Amino acid sequence: MATIPAESVKQWTRNGMRCCFGVLSCVLLCGAVFTIAFGVVIQMEYGGPINTFGGHFQLFSILLLCSGTLYFLLAMFGIGSLILNSSKGLSIMTYFVLILAIVQIFTGMVGIGAKGYVHGEINKRMKSAQMNYLKNPTSQIAWNTTQREMICCGIYSSSEWFRVLGDHNLPDSCCIYKSPGCGLQAIAQSNYYNDGCLRSYVSFTNLYQFGISIYCLLSNFLHLFLIAIPIYLIQKLEEYDKL
């Protein structure tokens, strides 16, 4: 029975290793494009006044943009190393992918476990901004933006605004049918949102936080799986070289 020459086995192993690094680089490149685009969308949609209450949308955006940029740089580095046939470059890429994957997996686990903190922080910021509604333009813009976009009024109920604006007065952003000064007659005309904003805001924030955390976990477990194969092949090559 004929045996396969050792050099042929080594060459097949090298080709398999290069193929694995090529697939990993393509996955990183696609992930970079998606991650950066996702970060830009979050920043454009929710990086403004609605972020004031501690929804951390800006933090989500920064995390995604930084991760996407690192994915892109690693993908380009991997492709360059393959073109130049640089084993040292591929080894460096391996270490960086491992480090980034471990950090991202840890970040994803922290994100999933931080829901209680987010709820308490948002509640505290909402109360502070509500009491400063007439004094602080930033608080006023944040509340008006949140109430308009989330179709809600107050933290828990619309009646909270009576302490700030006077009896039976609401911000115009609480009105279902909006017009200048509509908040003064909103209660009498039943033209206001009944639901408070805290529950909607926290649910919305948790949804994004959970989604981004799951994305971090799944994408980086995939990266670990893809990098494990070439690491195994590199070890095999070292064994063949010792024979």
Domain ranges of the chain: 15-115+209-242, 117-199
pLDDT for the residue 69: 94
On the question of pLDDT at 1 being above 70, the answer is no
Cα–Cα distance, 225 to 219 (Å, whole number): 10
Q: Helix 6-46 and helix 87-113: axis angle, to 10°? A: 40
The DSSP string of 219-232 is HHHHHHHHHHHHHH
Per-residue pLDDT reduced to its tens digit, 48-72: 777 788 767 777 888 889 999 999 9
Question: For residue 82, is pLDDT > 70?
Answer: yes
Predicted local confidence at residue 7, as pLDDT:
66
- The residues, any chain, with a CB within 8 Å of residue 2's CB and separated by 6 or more, are none
What are 181-235's pLDDT values in tens digits?
999 999 999 999 989 999 988 888 888 888 888 998 999 999 998 888 888 777 7
Mark 39-52 as b/e (b = at least 16 C-beta within 10 Å): beebbeebbebbbb
In the predicted model, is pLDDT for residue 8 greater than 70?
Answer: no
Which residue type occupies 115? K
Q: How remote is the C-alpha of 175 from its chain's centroid?
A: 32
pLDDT digits (tens, 9 = 90+) for 102-147: 998 998 888 877 766 677 888 889 999 999 999 999 999 999 999 9
Nearest by Cα to 67 from 95, 94, 101: 101
Mean pLDDT, range 39-49, rounded to an integer: 81
Q: Report how far residue 71's alpha carbon sits from residue 74's, in angstroms, rounded to the nearest whole number.
A: 5
Residues with Cβ within 8 Å of residue 113, at least 6 apart in sequence: none
- CATH number belonging to domain 117-199: 1.10.1450.10
C-alpha neighbours within 13 Å on the C-beta side of residue 50:
20
pLDDT at 5 > cutoff 70:
no
